Amino acid sequence: MAIQTTAIDRASLDAIRALQAPGGDDLVAKIVRTFMEESARLSRNIEQAVAASDIEGVRANAHSLKSCSGNVGANQLAVLARDMETAARRGTLDDADGALSELQAELRRAVAELEGMFGAA
C-alpha cells in the first residue's frame, strides 16, 4: 500500500479549477459539496449492503464511490473503493468488514482534509 501524506491530491482540485467558467458557480465548491453528500450516502449504502451480504449492492456503490472520490483527488479512497468493487465483482465478501472500516477511516480523513480546505459543508 502506498503511503500518502495527504488524503486529497491538490492537483486534482487544480484540474477542476481549470474548468471553471468565468462568472459561473464555483465548480470546485460544488464538486466538493457533492462529494460530501454522495460519499456519505454511498458509505452508508455499502455498510448496509455488507450487513445484508448484498454483493451487487456493494459493487455498485463501491464503483460510484470510486468514481466520485477520484474526481476530488481522494485517490487513496478511490483505490480502496476500487478494491472493494473488484472483490464484489469476484463474488467474495470475505473480510468485507475490515475493508469497510478501512474505507470509512480513509473517507473520514478525506472529508476532514476537505473541510479544512473549504469549511464544513
Q: Can you tell me which residue has the cell 468488514?
A: 97
Say whether residue 35 binds other proteins (CB under 8 A).
yes
The one segment of 27-35, 46-54, 101-109, 111-119 that binds other proteins by CB under 8 A = 27-35
Instruction: Count how many Cα atoms sit within 13 Å of the Cα of residue 87 in the half-sphere of its side chain.
Output: 21
CB-based contact 87:99 (threshold 8 Å): yes
The one segment of 24-32, 47-55, 101-109, 112-120 that binds other proteins by CB under 8 A = 24-32
Say whether residue 63 binds other proteins (CB under 8 A).
yes
Q: Per-residue DSSP letters for 32-87?
A: HHHHHHHHHHHHHHHHHHHHTT-HHHHHHHHHHHHHHHHHTT-HHHHHHHHHHHHH
The one segment of 47-55, 70-78, 93-101, 108-116 that binds other proteins by CB under 8 A = 70-78
Which amino acid is it at 112? A
The grid cell for 72 is 476530488
Select 71 or 104, whichever has its Cβ closest to other proteins.
71
Select 35 or 99, whichever has its Cβ closest to other proteins.
35
Say whether residue 67 binds other proteins (CB under 8 A).
yes
| DSSP, res 20 | P
Selected binder of other proteins within 5, 18, 119, 120 (CB under 8 A): 18
Residues binding other proteins (CB under 8 A): 15-16, 18-21, 27, 30-31, 34-35, 38, 60, 63-64, 66-68, 70-72, 78
